[in-house]
């Protein structure tokens, strides 16, 4: 399935995928509000595609292994995020323009941080010790 295949299909509310053999492109379900669970997460096949919640402190559910591009982009009021062990990839622009984001807990399993993942996150102050770096290069 190509990148952004169902981008902005807000009315999409159900999805049936084959049990195997489908590669979900980056941002395939970006802005698909109808697929969000009660907590506001759009998670398909262990990938978090978007967040429509309004909590200041967010814990990404266990089982998520990848955060697709822009999944938290422009989330107003978001102050802290905890990612579960098992997350290996943060795609491009994941937290871009999360102006209130101050703290993020990155798991030891993290292997890839995409371009602009923390761009325009001016309030980002800390990270959990021993985890992936918080440096201007990732902002």
d(CA 115, CA 119) in angstroms, rounded, equals 8
Average confidence (pLDDT) over 104-112? 95
Answer whether residue 18 is part of any domain.
no
Answer whether residue 138 is part of any domain.
yes
Answer whether residue 19 is part of any domain.
no
- Tell me, what CATH number does 134's domain have? 3.80.10.10
d(CA 11, CA 56) in angstroms, rounded, equals 26
Domains in the chain, number: 1
**pLDDT at residue 28 is higher than 60:** yes
Q: Tens digit of pLDDT for each residue in 88-104?
A: 999 999 999 999 999 99
Residue 57 structural domain: 1-12+24-139
Answer whether residue 17 is part of any domain.
no
The pTM is what? Answer: 0.79
d(CA 72, CA 3) in angstroms, rounded, equals 17
């Amino acid at each position: 399935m190509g990148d952004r295949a169902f981008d902005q299909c807000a009315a999409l509310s159900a999805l049936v995928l084959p049990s195997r053999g489908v590669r979900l492109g980056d941002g395939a379900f970006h802005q698909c509000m109808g697929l969000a669970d009660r907590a506001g997460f759009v998670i398909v096949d262990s990938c978090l595609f978007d967040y429509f919640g309004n909590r200041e402190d967010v814990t990404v559910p266990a089982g998520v292994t990848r955060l697709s591009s822009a999944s938290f982009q422009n989330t107003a009021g978001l102050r802290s995020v905890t990612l579960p062990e098992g997350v290996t990839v943060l795609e491009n622009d994941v937290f871009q323009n999360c102006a209130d984001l101050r703290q993020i807990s990155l798991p030891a399993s993290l292997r890839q941080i995409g371009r602009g993942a923390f761009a325009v996150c001016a309030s980002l102050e800390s990270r959990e010790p021993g985890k992936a770096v918080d440096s201007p290069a990732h902002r």
